[in-house]
Amino acid sequence: MLLVEDSENDALLLLRQLRRGGYEPSSRRVDTAGEMEEALEAQAWDLVICDHNMPAFNSLAALDLLRAKGFVDLPFIIVSGRIGEDAAVSAMKAGAHDYIMKDNLARLNSAIERELREAEVRRSRREAEAALRDSETRFRLMIEQSPLSVQIFSPDGRTVRVNRSWEELWGVTLDKIPGYNVLQDPQLIEKGLMPYIQSGFAGEPTAIPPVQYEPDASIPGASEVAHRWVRAFIYPVKVADGSIQEVVLIHEDITERVRAEEERRQAEANYRLIFENAVEGIFQTTAEGEFVTANPALAHMFGYDSPEDLLEKVSNIGDQIYADPGRRETFIQLARRDGLVQDFEMRVRRGDGKTTWASMNARVVRDGAGDVVGFEGFVKDVTEQKRAEEALGEIREAERRRIARELHDVVLQDLTYALQSLQVVSRIPEGADREAETTRQVEALRRSVAGIRAAIYDLRLETVEGQTLARSLESIVELNRQLSPGCAFELSVGGGFPADLRGPRAIEVARVVQEALANVRRHSGARHARVRLSADGGGALVEIEDDGRGFAAGTAAGMGLTGMRERAASLGGELEVEGLPGSGTRVSLRVSLAVLSGGVERAGT
């Protein structure tokens, strides 16, 4: 207890009265403003009893000091020897809780008990109010700083508060929608969401399905936001008696999520279209050898009616698909070692019992622990390619046998004759016709040289793989000039024809030209032959034209023409041969530039 009293005797009387009332007060006496301020700062007090008039201080000044220090709930009782009624009223208005005359202290203890009790009530109420304010502040900040849009309605549907996220979501502020009532929103009615809204206003927390909401459709001109996809939740705020005080609507902006989901669905649809319509077989298998997925191209390639038919009937790829025992194990070993297998060729046992060739590109599929759980990749049918390669091999072998036969039957015979003639001529008697024999020797040697040159010409292309197509054809045309001086051979290359075409496919084109010019040289009797290269619309055109004797309709194709057709087929190209008796012959080969440059696979592969 803090005693503001200038009389020590009066202070003792007050303490004695308190002890009579059952109190054991701890007190300190002050009688100036400085002493009182120091006492207030030194410790907490439960009660202040103050004399009204003192030489250097008074009760009104003490009250001012007490309030200035923030002690609004501390009981303040004036005990004075004399105080007028007006002064007492002024003191009570200034904040004193009671006043008692010194000559009548009987009421002091009851007054203290009452004021201590009321002070506790005031303190509790003030703390509760402060707690409420803090709670309201926290709630306001929580709502304001929420990343979710919050819109709070009165029970009749009017918007009373929104947070910053709501304003950012819809591009509008609360003052721009004064007449908006959610219970009358035509867009929510049209989209079938009003029952969910009404459920929230009826007192039931309700989740609202995702919806694309367009602000301008409900409040024209209020917002520049075209639309937002939102998912919402509505719930009532009820007071103690269960009545609804407010209704809260929370929006979650899922526009980007919906857009991403739509893009994902579109990507899946595009992938599915590619998967279903791809000309190559696409697959996924387990490590044990069962199909997980397969596209229609793979099912048809393997001789099954549909992917479902393939997955149902094939339970062991190694036994049912691979025609060669052990080939599956070879694939698995390569895949495990390298993680990727390219151009892996295999013979396939089809579901209809036929056998085909396939080439596979596949990769290993691993789980999170790094263990192999399957394989996935692409398969293409290379049966026609294999057949073309076999046919070309047979043609090349036939060419080698022909060259060997011509060297043996013609060149070797002429060389043998020339050698024997040279050995015999020295024995011919003087005066015999040695000149005629020498002429025959020269002719035999010329035929031998021509035969050897022809053989070199035929074998020349075995060593030109690194040359461009145009350069290879220059060599072929030059060799033909040397082999047939009586025929003028020309080569023309169009300006749009790629200058850097080379490689195995370019060699196949060169072989077609080689065979066509050999036919010109051997069979046409032409005086002029021209080779033209041109490019148009993504295709390469090679033309070989002569002014020789031509051929009659229905003439059977020889090995040379058959070989040219096989090579054209291996390139996915078209070969045309035109001619009439006495009007020369024209051979044209059209092939995709992409095929020649290696950009796409050949037809049939």
Q: How many alpha carbons lie under 13 Å from residue 36 in its C-beta half-sphere? A: 27
Position 605 scores a pLDDT of 35
2-125: CATH, from 1.10.530.10, 3.40.50.2300, 3.40.50.10210, 3.40.50.11900: 3.40.50.2300
Helices (H), 356-433: 383-406, 412-425
Ramachandran region, residue 29 (left: φ > 0; alpha: ψ -120 to 50; beta: rest): beta
Which runs of consecutive H residues, i.e. helices, occur in 108-193? 108-145, 164-170, 186-190
Inter-residue contact 491 to 446 (CB < 8 Å): no
Which CATH number is 146-258 given? 3.30.450.20
**Got the DSSP string for 72-125?**
SSS-EEEEES---HHHHHHHHHHT--EEEETT-GGGHHHHHHHHHHHHHHHHHH
Residue 430's pLDDT is: 62
Locate tokens 């301008």: which residue?
A: 216
CA distance 374 to 372: 6
Provide the pairing of β-strand 585-592 with 228-238. unpaired
- Residue 516's H or E segment, with its range, is helix 504-519
Measured distance CA(266)–CA(54) in Å, rounded:
92
User: How much is the pLDDT for 431?
Assistant: 56
What pLDDT, on a 0 to 100 scale, did the predictor assign at position 603?
A: 38
Per-10-residue mean pLDDT of the chain, 605 residues long, equals: 91 90 90 94 92 90 91 88 80 87 86 89 86 80 86 95 93 92 95 96 95 93 92 94 94 94 92 90 94 95 95 94 91 93 94 93 94 95 81 69 70 72 67 68 74 65 68 88 89 89 85 89 90 90 93 66 84 89 91 76 38
Rg (CA), the chain: 55
Nearest to 573 by CA among 599, 530, 542, 534: 542
What's the topology of domain 387-597? Heat Shock Protein 90 (3.30.565)
Helix, strand, coil shares, percent, the chain, to 5: 50, 25, 30
How do strand 291-294 and strand 28-30 relate by DSSP bridges?
A: unpaired
Distance CA(10)–CA(112), nearest Å, equals: 17
CB–CB of 112/94 below 8 Å?
A: no
Q: Strands 98-101 and 355-366: what pairing?
A: unpaired
Is 420:441 a contact under the CB 8 Å cutoff? Answer: no
Q: For position 140, what pLDDT does the model report?
A: 77
Read off the pTM: 0.46
Task: Identify the residue whose tokens are 């049912």.
Answer: 320
Q: How far apart are CA 374 and CA 83, in angstroms?
A: 103
Q: What is the DSSP string of 289-338?
A: S-EEEE-HHHHHHTT-SSHHHHHHH-S-HHHHTBSSTTHHHHHHHHHHHH
The two three-digit tokens of residue 494, written as one number: 């169009």
User: Please, which residues have CB within 8 angstroms of residue 13's CB and are 6 or more apart in sequence?
Assistant: 102, 105
Structure confidence at residue 601 (pLDDT)? 40
Please provide the CATH number assigned to the domain covering 278-381. 3.30.450.20
Residue where the block lists tokens 């043998």 = 416
**In this predicted structure, what is the pLDDT of residue 604?**
38
DSSP 247: E
**Contact criterion met (CB below 8 Å) for 499 and 470:** yes
CA torsion angle 377 380 382 384 (round to 10): 180
Secondary structure class of 126 (helix, strand, coil): helix
Assigned token pair, 322: 């691979």
Q: Where are the domains of the chain?
A: 2-125, 146-258, 278-381, 387-597
Q: Do domains 146-258 and 278-381 have the same CATH topology?
A: yes
Q: Are 479 and 460 in contact (CB under 8 A)?
A: yes
Torsion of CA 403, 409, 411, 417, to 10 degrees: 170
The DSSP secondary structure of 568-601, one letter per residue, reads HHHTT-EEEEEE-TTS-EEEEEEEEHHHHHTSSP
Q: Pairing mode, if any, of strands 2-4 and 28-30?
A: parallel
Q: How far is CA 130 from CA 145, 148, 192, 206, in A?
A: 22, 28, 45, 33
